[in-house]
Amino acid sequence: MTQRPQRASSDTTSEGIRVEASAQYIPKDSNPEGHQYVYGYRITITNVGTRRARLRSRHWLILDADNNRQDVSGQGVVGQFPDLAPGQRFEYTSGCPLPTKWGTMEGSYTFEREDATRFEVAVGRFFLVPNTLRVAAAAG
């Protein structure tokens, strides 16, 4: 059986909002002997639709390699509530610690239109995986 390479990125569009996500292992902040693996991730949110939308909240579903689930919810992103007119984008970086060498993240953002209607925007699944594991999977 051939393994597919694990993608450390995703690109999803919902309701005119495009969300691009990518992750990178951060060895200097990690401690594999102590079962602590730290990943940084970058999110780019672009309004590719025709109506203004403001991000209100986030929800992340994080799974580690042992299938332990962590749900993380909160208001805004990195303390901000980006309000995007058509064509505008917002980018931020954050981090995620894991007790295992790899895992996955996916989730959603709740946005609000100017008329106060709310809608969900999907963040596609992306892998938190060291580069060495991606290379091994691609070579397999």
Domains of the chain and any CATH numbers: 9-134 (2.60.40.1470)
- The model's pLDDT over 102-131, given as tens digits with 9 standing for 90+, comes to 999 999 999 999 999 999 999 999 999 987
Q: Tens digits of per-residue pLDDT, 59-98? A: 999 999 999 999 999 999 999 999 999 999 999 999 999 9
| C-alpha distance from residue 1 to each of 61, 94, 127, 133, 140 (Å) | 28, 35, 20, 17, 9
Distances in whole angstroms, Cα of residue 131 to Cα of each of 5, 20, 65, 135? 11, 19, 16, 6
List of E strands, the chain:
9-14, 17-25, 37-47, 53-64, 69-75, 83-84, 89-98, 103-113, 118-128
Residue 135 CA: distances (Å) to CA of 3, 56, 66, 88, 130: 11, 37, 21, 35, 9
Percent of the chain residues past pLDDT 90, beyond the cut: 86
